[in-house]
Structure 1
Amino acid sequence: MKSIEMRTLLLTAYIVMLAFGVASAQNAVTCFRKNSSCFLKVLRCPTECPLTIPTNPTEKACYADCDVKCEAICRSNFTVSRAVTDWDLDATTHDSLEVTESFSIFMEVSDRSFQINARFIGLRPQGRTRDFTWIQALGLMFASHTFTVEAKRVKTWIETTDHLSFTLDGTSFQLREGYLSKWSSTDDELLIERTERVNSVMITVNGVAEISVTVVPVTEQDDRIHGYNIPKDDCFAHLEVQFRFLAISQEVEGVLGRTYRPDYVSTVKRGVEMPVVGGADKYETASLLSSDCKLCLFSPSQVANA
Structure 2
Amino acid sequence: MDMSSSNSLILVLVLFAFCCEMQMIAGIDYVTCTSLGSPCFGKKRECPYECPLKSPSGPKAKVCYIDCSSPTCQTYCKHYKPDCNGRGSACLDPRFVGADGIVFYFHGRRNEHFTLVSDANLQINARFIGLRPAGRSRDYTWIQALGLLFDSHKFTVEATPAANWNDGIDHLKFSYNGEELVIPEGYLSAWQSPENQLRVERTSSKNSVLVNLPEVAEISINVVPVTKEDSKIHNYQIPDDDCFAHLEVQFKFYGLSSKVDGVLGRTYQPDFQNPAKLGVAMPVVGGEDRYRTSSLLSADCGDCVFAPG
By the TM > 0.5 criterion, same fold? yes
Within 1, Cα distance between the matches of 2:149 and 2:181? 17
Distance 1:265 1:222, change over 3 A: same
Whether 2:95 is the aligned partner of 1:97: answer no
Cα distance in 2 for partners of 1:236, 1:144 equals 32
Q: Provide the rounded CA distance (Å) in 2 between the counterparts of 1:179 and 1:64.
A: 8
Q: Distance in 2 between matches of 1:64 and 1:203?
A: 18
C-alpha change, 1:76 and 1:180, in structure 2 (3 Å) is farther
Q: Is the 8 A contact 2:161 2:242 kept in 1?
A: yes
CA distance in 2 between counterparts of 1:164 and 1:198 reads: 8
Q: Check conservation: 2:224, 2:247, Cα contact below 8 A.
A: yes
Amino acid at match of 1:158: N
- Provide the C-alpha distance between the structure 1 equivalents of 2:48 and 2:276, rounded to a whole number of angstroms: 41
Query: How has the CA–CA distance of structure 1 residues 82 and 155 changed in structure 2, closer, same or farther, with 3 Å as cutoff?
Result: farther
- Give the count of matched residue pairs: 244
CA deviations 1:71-97 (Å, max 9, x no partner) are x546574x9486479994111215543
| 8 Å contact from structure 2 (residues 48, 64) kept in 1 | no
Counterpart residue number, 1:52: 50
What's the secondary structure of 1:161's corresponding residue? coil
Contact 2:108 2:114 in 1 (8 A): no
Is the counterpart of residue 291 in structure 1 residue 299 in structure 2? yes
Assess, with a 3 A threshold, how the Cα gap between structure 1 residues 169 and 278 changes in structure 2: closer, same or farther: same
In structure 2, stretches of 5+ residues that fail to align are 1-21, 29-46, 76-85, 96-104
1:90-116 Cα offsets, whole Å, 9 max, x none, are 1121554331xx412110001111110
Map Cα deviations across residues 186-223 of structure 1 (whole Å, 9 max, x no partner).
11111011100100000001221010000011111111
Matches within 5 A, 1:142-221: 142-221=150-229
Q: 1:246 to 1:115 in 2, by over 3 A?
A: same
1:258 positional shift: 0.4
Confirm or deny: 8 A CA contact 1:182 1:193 kept in the other structure.
yes
Matched, 1:115 2:115: no
- The percentage of counterpart residues that share the same residue type is 49
**1:31-46 → structure 2 map (5 Å cutoff):** none
Greater RCO between the two (CA within 8 Å, min separation 6)? 2
SS for the counterpart of 1:252 is coil
Following the alignment from structure 1 to structure 2, what is the Cα–Cα distance between the partners of residues 225 and 265?
A: 32
Moved segments of 4+, more than 4 Å: 61-65, 74-77, 79-88, 271-274
- Residue 124 (1) aligns with residue 124 (2): no
Task: Answer whether contact 1:74 1:195 (CA < 8 A) is retained.
Answer: no
Given the two structures, how large is their TM-score scaled by the length of structure 2?
A: 0.71
**Can you list the C-alpha shifts for 1:220-269, whole angstroms capped at 9, x where unaligned?**
11112221110111000000001011221111111000001111101123
- Contact 1:91 1:241 (C-alpha < 8 Å) held by counterparts: yes
Match of 1:247 among 250, 255, 261: 255
Instruction: Give the superposition deviation at 1:60.
Output: 3.2
Distance in 2, matches of 1:52 and 1:167, equals: 36
